[in-house]
């Protein structure tokens, strides 16, 4: 006999009456989130992106310092199944590249050398690297036999494979915003909360501090930083510095919101009641105040992550931050934005796609979370 299962029931419950079920708020959020298709897809995409970053060295056919003057500014190669004679191959292949220069414009011109076929191979031995930063290895997921070259997304001005650079760059661009946002989230929540909840002189002082920090000019700070940082500092550490600075400014916005919400919520009857009942301040904040505006915080923080990814690109534009051969998406975009690249080698804009994709997915994810966390959702 078909029975109406309890599990399904849980999903439908909030639709009935609001006072239905309060015990499992996070579970409800989870259930509602699962219903948000775009957010679910975004989560999958993000997971793929992060997995790509984690295993970048393995996935990328080439390393960051694989310069080759023969293949400067080469356009993306076509993976082919059918060769020039119309024969079909199960294993995809690429043609070799013949390069020359246009005598008039000195532009590098590439033509496919249909004589030379290089099949796409898996688990190819190539440049040495450390898998996950630990295990030395030289196996790359895909590649072609030397002297063939595989440039799925073309090459840059130094003849490096753009596909590899995007993958390897994602390690920097994807990992560090999380840290920045984490810091600003924690700082904003704690400080803003304390300011709003306790009020009084503490509030006054914190507000002043926030004001000072907010008024702090970021640009010269970055410039001073880049001038002050020693040359052989590991690039990632450099980026960490800047992200921390960034987070340091970012948290203030969050803190203000939190404070405002706290002020308007702290006189709610249920909060006052809890206070009188002797519930500890921390517990009141965590149990009673936070759920009141968690959705806003979620939106704010998920929106802050892409903000930092973009900030990194902006810093690269100003010549601050990561420097080639170390690579981030900001570095790639900075290289792409030169007018001759856009005019002559448009494939260099491809990293923009990954930036947009990441920013979008983070946003959709945040959106899904927001909708899921919304206590009034029907």
Partner 1 sequence: MRRQRKLLIVLLVIISIIAAGCTNNSNSPAPSDAPAKPSNDNKAVDVGKGGGGSDTAAAKEAPMLAKLVADGSLPPLAERLPVQADVMVEPVVDQIGQYGGDWTMAWTGPGDKWSVGQPTEEALFRFNKDGSGVEPNVAKSYEVNENSTEFTIHLREGMKWSDGEPFTANDVLFYWEHMLTKETFGKAIYDAYYSVDPVTGDKALATVTKVDDYTFKVVHKYPSVQFLERVAIDNKWFFAPAHFHEKILPELVGEDKALEIAKQWGFEDTTAFLKETGYYYWLYSQIPTLRPWVAKNDPNSDQFIMERNPYYWKTDPEGNQLPYMDRIVATKIQDPSQRVLGTLAGDFNLSTFGAQDFTVLKENEKKGDYRVIAWQQPAWMTSGIQLNQTIDDPNLRKLFQDIRFREALSLGVNRTEITEIVTNGIADPIQASVQEGLVGYQEGWADQWSAFDPERANALLDEIGLTKRDKSNFRLFPDGKDVTLTIMDSSEDSANYTELLKKYYEDMGIKTNVKLVDQATLQELKYSNQVPVSIENISVVNVAYRPDALVPLRVLTPWYGQYGLYVSSGGKEGIKPEGDVAKILEYWDQIKAAGTTEEINRLGDEIVKLHMKNQWVIGYAGPTPTLIAASNKMGNVPEDLIWADEFRSLGAAHPAQFYLKP
Partner 2 sequence: MTAETVQPQQPLLRVQDLKIRIQMDNGVMNAVDGVDFEIRKGKTLGLVGESGCGKSLTSRALIGINPKECETSGTIAYRSSQEPEAKGEALDLLALDPNGRKIRSIRGRKIAMIFQEPMTAFSPMYTIGNQIMEAILIHRTKNKKEAKKLALEMLGKVGISDQEKRFDQYPHEFSGGMRQRAMISMALSCNPELLIADEPTTALDVTIQAQVLELMKRLQQEFGMAILLVTHDLGIIAEMCDEVAVMYLGKIVEQAPMKEIFRNPKHPYTKGLLRSMPRLGGNKAKRLESIEGSVPIPVNMPPMCGFYDRCKDRIEGVCNRQSVPATQISDTHTVRCFLYSDQKGGQ
Partner 3 sequence: MLQYTLKRILLAIPVVFFISVIVFYIIQLPPGDYVSNYAAEASVAGEVFTQADMDAMRADLGLDRPVYEQYFIWIKDIVFYGDFGFSFNYNKPVLAVIEQYMGLTLTVSLVTMAFQYLVAIPIGIYCAVKQYSIGDYFFSGLSFLGMATPHFLMAVILMFLSYTWFGDPLLGLFSAEYVNAPWSMDKAIDLAKHMVIPVIVIGLSGTADLIRVMRGQMLDELNKPNVVTARAKGLSERKILFKYPTRAALNPIVSTFGWSLTSIFTGSTITAIVLNLPIQGPVMFNALLGQDMYLAGTWLLFMALLTVLGTLISDILLAWLDPKIRTEFRGT
Residues in contact with partner 2 by the rule CB under 8 A: 1-2, 4, 8-9, 11-13, 15-17, 19-20, 35, 267, 269, 378
Q: Does the bond joining 325 to the residue before it have cis omega, within 30 degrees of 0?
A: yes
Which of the choices partner 2, partner 1, partner 3, none does residue 231 contact, using the CB cut-off of 5 to 8 A by kind? partner 1
User: Residue 248 interacts with partner 3 (CB under 8 A)?
Assistant: no
C-alpha span between 127 and 218 (Å, rounded): 40
Q: 297 or 336, CB closer to partner 1?
A: 336
For residue 15, count CB atoms less than 10 angstroms from its CB and return exposed for 0-12, middle for 13-18, buried for 19 or more.
exposed
Encoded tokens for 353: 């796609």
User: Residue 350 interacts with partner 3 (CB under 8 A)?
Assistant: no
User: Residue 229 interacts with partner 3 (CB under 8 A)?
Assistant: no
Which of the choices partner 1, partner 3, partner 2, none does residue 19 contact, using the CB cut-off of 5 to 8 A by kind? partner 2
Which of the choices partner 2, partner 3, partner 1, none does residue 377 contact, using the CB cut-off of 5 to 8 A by kind? partner 3
Rule CB under 8 A: choose which of 24, 119, 264, 282 binds partner 3: 264
- Sole window of 116-124, 175-183, 190-198, 260-268 interacting with partner 3 (rule: CB under 8 A): 260-268
Report yes or no: 24 and 333 within 8 Å, Cβ to Cβ: no
Q: How far is the CB of 16 from partner 2 (least distance, A)?
A: 4
Interaction residues for partner 1, span 195-224 (CB under 8 A): none
Residue 60 β-bridge partners: none
DSSP 8-state symbol, 278: T
Report yes or no: 228 and 245 within 8 Å, Cβ to Cβ: no
User: Residue 325 interacts with partner 1 (CB under 8 A)?
Assistant: yes
Interaction residues for partner 1, span 58-87 (CB under 8 A): 65, 67, 69-70, 72
Torsion on CA atoms 334, 335, 340, 342, rounded to nearest 10: -70
C-alpha span between 316 and 334 (Å, rounded): 6
How many residues bind partner 3 (CB under 8 A)? The answer is 53
Q: 111 or 218, CB closer to partner 3?
A: 218
At 127, which helix (H) or strand (E)?
A: strand 121-131
Report yes or no: 59 and 141 within 8 Å, Cβ to Cβ: yes
Report yes or no: 344 and 73 within 8 Å, Cβ to Cβ: yes
Instruction: List C-alpha distances in Å: 259 to 41, 65, 280.
Output: 34, 49, 19
Q: 155 or 334, CB closer to partner 3?
A: 334
CA angle (360 as vertex; 179, 56 as ends), nearest 5: 60
Residue recorded with tokens 């009188």: 276
Residues near partner 3 (CB under 8 A): 204, 208, 211-212, 214-217, 219-221, 223-224, 227-228, 253, 257, 260, 263-264, 267, 295-296, 299, 303, 306, 310, 313-314, 317-318, 333, 336-337, 339, 342-343, 349, 352, 355-356, 358-360, 363-364, 367, 370-371, 374, 376-378
């Amino acid at each position: 006999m078909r029975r109406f299962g309890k599990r399904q029931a849980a999903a439908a419950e909030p639709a009935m009456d609001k006072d239905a079920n309060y015990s499992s708020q996070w579970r409800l959020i989870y259930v509602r989130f699962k219903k948000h298709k775009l957010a679910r897809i975004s989560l999958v995409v993000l997971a793929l992106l992060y997995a790509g970053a984690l295993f970048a060295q393995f996935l990328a056919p080439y390393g960051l310092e694989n310069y080759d003057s023969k293949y400067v500014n080469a356009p993306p190669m076509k993976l082919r199944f059918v060769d020039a004679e119309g024969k079909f191959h199960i294993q995809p292949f690429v043609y070799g590249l013949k390069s020359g220069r246009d005598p008039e414009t000195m532009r590098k011109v590439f033509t496919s050398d249909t004589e030379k076929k290089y099949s796409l191979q898996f688990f190819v031995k190539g440049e040495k690297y450390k898998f996950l930063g630990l295990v030395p290895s030289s196996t790359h997921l895909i590649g072609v036999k030397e002297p063939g070259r595989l440039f799925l997304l073309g090459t840059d001005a130094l003849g490096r494979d753009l596909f590899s650079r995007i993958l390897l760059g994602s390690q920097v661009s994807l990992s560090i915003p999380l840290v920045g946002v984490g810091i600003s989230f924690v700082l904003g929540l704690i400080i803003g909360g304390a300011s709003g909840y306790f009020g009084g002189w503490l509030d006054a002082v914190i507000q002043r501090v926030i004001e000072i920090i907010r008024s702090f000019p970021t640009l010269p700070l970055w410039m001073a930083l880049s001038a002050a940082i020693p040359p052989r500092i590991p690039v990632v550490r450099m980026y960490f510095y800047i992200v921390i600075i960034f987070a340091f400014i970012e948290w203030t916005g969050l803190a203000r919101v939190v404070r405002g919400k706290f002020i308007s919520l702290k006189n709610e009857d249920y909060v006052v009641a809890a206070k009188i009942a002797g519930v500890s301040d921390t517990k009141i904040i965590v149990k009673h105040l936070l759920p009141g505006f968690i959705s806003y915080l979620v939106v704010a923080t998920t929106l802050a992550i892409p903000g930092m990814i973009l900030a990194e690109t902006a810093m690269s534009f100003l010549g601050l931050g990561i420097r080639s051969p170390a690579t981030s998406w900001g570095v790639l975009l900075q290289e792409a934005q030169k007018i001759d690249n856009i005019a002559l080698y448009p494939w260099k804009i491809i990293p923009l796609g990954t930036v947009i994709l990441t920013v979008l997915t983070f946003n959709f994810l945040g959106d899904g979370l927001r909708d899921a966390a919304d206590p009034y959702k029907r």
